[in-house]
Structure 1
Amino acid sequence: MAAISSRGRGRRRTINEINMVPFIDVMLVLLIIFMVSAPLITTGVVDLPSVGRSKQQPDHVVHITVGTDERMKLKVDNGDESSVVLKGLADRVKTAQAGQDNTPVVISADKAVKYEAVVKVMDALQTAGIQRVGLAVRNSGAAAGNN
């Protein structure tokens, strides 16, 4: 509400000033509260997965390699690679799994491959109901020796 002052006889006029003192007081109190509470807030720690060698490699594994030209190759265990298209990928993987749904599928791609191409492969496998899908990674020690 605006304050009404009466000057003179019967003239009423509103004061167009905003009283800033209460606003400044509130802001200073909030500033002090935030300054005191900021050091007490604990920062969240994100646990990232580490890459290590597993104790035992699976006996039967299906490898999918995505090339820089986004062409895919399928390799079962240590056999020969064969080219495959995205539309027929899920059927070929199910055939390669030979009825064993727990057979892991490993996707490997060059770092120059678009992320979208790898996601499309993962999506096609997930849509087909293939359970164990993972990404191949390099150990940092092995990567340093390969450069």
Structure 2
Amino acid sequence: MPGVIARGGSSRGRRTMNEINMVPFIDVMLVLLIIFMVTSPLITTGVVDLPTVGRAKQRPQSVIEIVVGLDDKLKLKVDKGDAAAIALPQLVARVREAQRGQADVPVVISADRQVKYESVVKVMDTLQRAGVQRVGLSVKQGA
């Protein structure tokens, strides 16, 4: 047949590729791995230093204790004496008076676990803004 061109190889010429080429994917993943390995030591993590309860030191001889009541009323105790009612605006002056010029006398804030967190933070913030150095929270000893 003079006018017929044989196309025997055309059905096998170009086939579509049904595979995923993994080489570019692996290259990208290796670059990302190296970037994360280099930058991970540079990231600062937030450190929370929580107090431990079981190993407390011996209680100091002179302690000023502020008791926060359920009704947000404050009481001031000096060296386990009688508790005297006090208002928040007069707190700093009374604490300074009880310290008698000794800034190293610790101030301990005691509150029932049902007292609002905000009430305790207000007392602590008031003392720290006034420059009282040793302010702590009273906790129950033992497990």
Q: What's the counterpart of residue 57 of structure 2? A: 54
Structure holding more strand per residue: 1
Q: What's the counterpart of residue 133 of structure 1? A: 135
What secondary structure does 1:65 align onto?
Answer: strand
Give the number of equivalent residue pairs: 114
Compared CA separation, residues 28 and 53, structure 1 to 2 (3 A)? closer
TM-score (norm 1): 0.64
Q: Which runs of structure 2 are paired with 1:12-51 in the superposition (5 Å)?
A: 33=33, 48-51=50-53
Identity among equivalent pairs (%): 49
Q: Whose radius of gyration is greater, 1 or 2? A: 2
Amino acid of the structure 1 residue aligned with 2:118: E
Amino acid of the structure 2 residue aligned with 1:100: Q
TM-score (norm 2): 0.65
Amino acid of the structure 2 residue aligned with 1:121: V
CA shift, 1:114, in A, is 1.0
CA RMSD of aligned residues (A): 3.1
Deviations 1:10-37 (A, max 9, x none): xxxxxxxxxxx79867766678x49xx7
Q: Distance between the aligned counterparts of 1:47 and 1:127, measured in 2?
A: 21
**Which structure 1 residue ranges, 5 or more long, are not aligned?**
1-20, 142-147
Q: Distance between the aligned counterparts of 2:91 and 2:84, measured in 1?
A: 11
Compared CA separation, residues 100 and 46, structure 1 to 2 (3 A)? closer
Amino acid of the structure 2 residue aligned with 1:124: T
Q: What's the counterpart of residue 103 of structure 2? A: 101
**Which structure 2 residue ranges, 5 or more long, are not aligned?**
1-20
Highest RCO, 1 vs 2 (Cα 8 Å, sep ≥ 6):
2
